[in-house]
Amino acid sequence: MIRDASSTEQANTVPPLSATNVKIVEPTIFDLSSPGRIGVTMPASDVPTTALPPKELLRSELPLPELAEVDVVRHYMHLSKFNYSVDSGFYPLGSCTMKYNPKINEDTCRLPGFLHTHPLQPIETVQGNLVLMYTLQEWLKEIGGFAAVTLQPAAGAHGEFTGVLIMRAYHKSRGDAKRVKMIIPTSAHGTNPASVGMMGLQVVQVPSDERGNVDLKALEAACDDTVVGMMLTNPNTLGLFDENIEKVIKLVHRCGGLMYGDGANLNALLGIVRPGDLGFDLMHFNLHKTFSVPHGGGGPGVGPVGVAAHLADFLPEPLVGIVEDGDNDTPPLYGFVTPAKSIGRMKAFHGHFGGGFVRSYTYIAMHGPDGLKDIAQYAVLNANYLLAKLRDTYRVPFDRICMHEFVAEGRFEGSDVRALDIAKRLIDYNFHPPTNYFPLIVHEALMIEPTETENKDTLDAFAEALIKIAEEARTQPDLLHNAPSATQFGTIVDEVKAARELVLCCWLPDNYDANA
Partner 1 sequence: MTYIPISPKERDAMLEAIGVKSLDDLFEDVPARHRFPKLNLPPALTEMEAMNELSGLAQSNENVRSDLISFLGAGMYNHYIPSVVDHILRRGEFYTAYTPYQPEISQGTLQAIFEYQSLMVALTGMDVSNASHYDGATATAEAVSLAYAQFRSKRKKVVISPTVHPQYRAVIRTYVQGMELELAGDDPNADLDSQPDELTSLIDDNTSLLIVQYPDFFGRVYDYTKLIEAAHAKGALVCVVANPTALALFKTPGSMGADVVVGDGQPLGIPMWYGGPSVGFFTTRKNFVHKMAGRLVGETIDNRGQRAYVLTLTAREQHIKRERATSNICTNQGLIALGTAVYLSLLGKKGLRQVAELCYQKAHYAAAQLSQIDGMGLCFTEPFFHEFALCVNRPVEEVNAHLLEHGILGGYDLGQDYPALKDHMLVAVTEMNSKEDIDTLVQVLSEVSHD
Report CA-CA distances (Å) from 115 to 106, 109, 347, 415, 465.
12, 7, 19, 55, 43
Q: Which is nearer to partner 1, 374 or 413 (CB)?
A: 374
Residues 455, 461, 465, CA angle at the centre, nearest 5°? 145
Q: Are 423 and 408 in contact (CB under 8 A)?
A: no
Q: Which is nearer to partner 1, 42 or 413 (CB)?
A: 42
Counting Cα atoms < 13 Å in the Cβ hemisphere of 370 gives 0
494, exposed or middle or buried, with CB in 10 Å at 0-12, 13-18, 19+? exposed
Find the shortest distance in angstroms from Cβ 445 to partner 1: 13
Find the shortest distance in angstroms from Cβ 99 to partner 1: 8
Q: Which is nearer to partner 1, 130 or 219 (CB)?
A: 130
Find the shortest distance in angstroms from Cβ 266 to partner 1: 13
d(CA 81, CA 87): 12
Residues paired with 334 in a beta bridge = 322
Q: Which is nearer to partner 1, 343 or 470 (CB)?
A: 343
Q: Which is nearer to partner 1, 413 or 499 (CB)?
A: 499
Find the shortest distance in angstroms from Cβ 324 to partner 1: 16
Find the shortest distance in angstroms from Cβ 86 to partner 1: 4
Find the shortest distance in angstroms from Cβ 182 to partner 1: 9
Q: Which is nearer to partner 1, 11 or 44 (CB)?
A: 44
Residues 58, 61, 63, CA angle at the centre, nearest 5°? 135
DSSP code, position 15: -
Grouping H, G, I as helix, E, B as strand and the rest as coil, residue 115 is helix
26-29 contact pairs (CB < 8 A, 24+): 26/75, 26/78, 26/79, 26/82, 27/75, 28/506, 29/65, 29/67, 29/72, 29/75, 29/506
Q: Which is nearer to partner 1, 414 or 432 (CB)?
A: 432
Among 410, 478, 401, residue whose Cα is nearest residue 442: 410
148 φ, ψ to 5°? -155, 155
Q: Which is nearer to partner 1, 316 or 335 (CB)?
A: 316
d(CA 507, CA 516): 18
Q: Which is nearer to partner 1, 257 or 275 (CB)?
A: 275
Grouping H, G, I as helix, E, B as strand and the rest as coil, residue 34 is coil
Among 341, 378, 401, 351, residue whose Cα is nearest residue 140: 351
Report CA-CA distances (Å) from 215 to 203, 246, 402, 478.
16, 13, 18, 40
Q: Which is nearer to partner 1, 347 or 474 (CB)?
A: 347
Strands in 282-326 per DSSP E? 282-285, 305-307, 319-324
Find the shortest distance in angstroms from Cβ 414 to partner 1: 27
Q: Which is nearer to partner 1, 103 or 414 (CB)?
A: 103
Find the shortest distance in angstroms from Cβ 223 to partner 1: 19
Find the shortest distance in angstroms from Cβ 306 to partner 1: 14
Grouping H, G, I as helix, E, B as strand and the rest as coil, residue 448 is strand
Q: Which is nearer to partner 1, 98 or 448 (CB)?
A: 98
437, exposed or middle or buried, with CB in 10 Å at 0-12, 13-18, 19+? middle
Q: Are 287 and 139 in contact (CB under 8 A)?
A: no
Kindly give, in sequence order, each residue whose CB lies less than 8 Å from that of residue 416, ignoring residues fewer than 6 positions away: 477
Find the shortest distance in angstroms from Cβ 279 to partner 1: 10
Q: Are 16 and 501 in contact (CB under 8 A)?
A: yes
Q: Which is nearer to partner 1, 255 or 268 (CB)?
A: 268
Find the shortest distance in angstroms from Cβ 40 to partner 1: 5
Find the shortest distance in angstroms from Cβ 13 to partner 1: 12
Find the shortest distance in angstroms from Cβ 10 to partner 1: 15
Among 214, 223, 234, 335, residue whose Cα is nearest residue 277: 234
